[in-house]
Amino acid sequence: MAEGQIRQSLSGFYDVFSDGELYRTRARGNFRKKRITPLVGDRVRFESSSPKEGYILEILPRDNALTRPPVANIDQGVVVTAVASPEFSTNLLDRQLIALEVSHIKPVIYFTKTDLITDDRYQQFVTLAAAYRQVGYPVCLSREPFAQDGLDQLRTLLADQETVIMGQTGAGKSTLLNHLVPDLDLATGEISTALNRGRHTTRKVSLMPIAGGLVADTPGFSSYDTLTIDYRELGQYFPEFRALASQCRFRGCVHVNEPGCAVKAALAAGDVLQSRYDNYLQLLTLLQNQKPVYNKKK
């Protein structure tokens, strides 16, 4: 029995990477009975008589799992955010950051389409980027789109990490990947050839080796999935609120009308972004009005 990691799933087959080799495997029948689906990124125990023939016996505990793309054990999410066209919205950006925080995935912000804005508008993004760095998020922003320094910063962040790339349609996710790895098409083609499969396959999900890390090749992570958290927990997913919460007068302060609230004091002092606080209030109201979702047995 060997241990490895699922690097690609394809029509019921799972390609497991172990000791520098790829093994094509299937899931044992009892997984289906238990309604367990192996995911790309899963660490597994498997047995194999040859690189083309093997079975997954056990899925090791996951750190996290996403449904879109269906991947597990993700370390970070790069939120690709256009500064224009589609129009920039702090609300959408914050929702994406919260969705990652809820899944225990570290966010990275990468701004694209900086050639479409004036110098004055760009300076506003420089200020905004500084504010998000203050929160603790790495931010890649350069005056020229896909400039070398921004790409190098991102490559450093990708090393030794498993990463998903996310963002609105048109934000430039594929373009970013093609800038990171100019021969990306070649690389994905090679993986397919190695597995004796054509490129045009259904529901293929894979992790590609990029910049010393692994990147999920299917952008699809959305911030519009219903957040199934209690509104009282929302502040935990804003790192700057989380850091201040212990100084609030009341335990369980939701930072709205309570006296002695450290978050509101920091907001008044200009140490918390007004847009972050406004987006927090909007989401808080949404969550308060949401009917409870009882997790049905899967």
In a domain, 297, yes or no: no
CATH of the domain at 14: 2.40.50.140
Work out the pLDDT band at 148, boundaries 50, 70, 90.
very high
In a domain, 276, yes or no: yes
Q: What does the pLDDT look like over 66-106, one tens digit per residue? A: 887 889 999 999 999 999 999 999 999 999 999 899 989 99
**42 in the same domain as 154:** no
- Are 265 and 212 in contact, with CB atoms under 8 Å apart? no
**143 in the same domain as 48:** no
In a domain, 67, yes or no: no
CA torsion sign for 114, 120, 124, 127 is positive
Sequence ranges of the binding site = 112-115, 167-175, 248, 253, 255, 261
| Final residue before a domain boundary, out of 188, 216, 244 | 216
In a domain, 65, yes or no: no
In a domain, 43, yes or no: yes
**169 in the same domain as 99:** yes
The model's pTM is: 0.87
| Alpha-carbon dihedral 169, 172, 173, 175, rounded to 10 degrees | 140
Q: Which of the 8 DSSP states describes residue 227?
A: P
Q: What does the pLDDT look like over 124-134, one tens digit per residue? A: 999 999 999 99
Sequence ranges of the binding site for GTP = 112-115, 167-175
Q: What 3-state class would DSSP assign to 132?
A: helix
CATH of the domain at 252: 1.10.40.50
Task: Give residue 294's pLDDT.
Answer: 62
More confident residue, 196 or 116: 116
**189 in the same domain as 235:** no
CA torsion sign for 212, 216, 222, 228 is negative
In whole angstroms, give the CA distance from residue 226 to residue 113.
Answer: 29
Average the pLDDT over each of 54-63, 116-125, 198-207 and give the range with the smallest value: 198-207
In whole angstroms, give the CA distance from residue 151 to residue 142.
Answer: 10
Task: Give residue 186's pLDDT.
Answer: 41
**193 in the same domain as 104:** yes
**163 in the same domain as 126:** yes
**266 in the same domain as 167:** no
Sequence ranges of the binding site for Zn(2+) = 248, 253, 255, 261
- Are 48 and 25 in contact, with CB atoms under 8 Å apart? yes
**165 in the same domain as 126:** yes
- Are 97 and 133 in contact, with CB atoms under 8 Å apart? no
Burial class (CB in 10 A: 0-12, 13-18, 19+), 18: middle
- Closest by Cα among 228, 238, 225, 227 to 279: 238
Task: Give residue 279's pLDDT.
Answer: 97
What's the domain range around 148?
Answer: 76-216
| Final residue before a domain boundary, out of 189, 216, 243 | 216
Domains in the chain: how many in total? 3
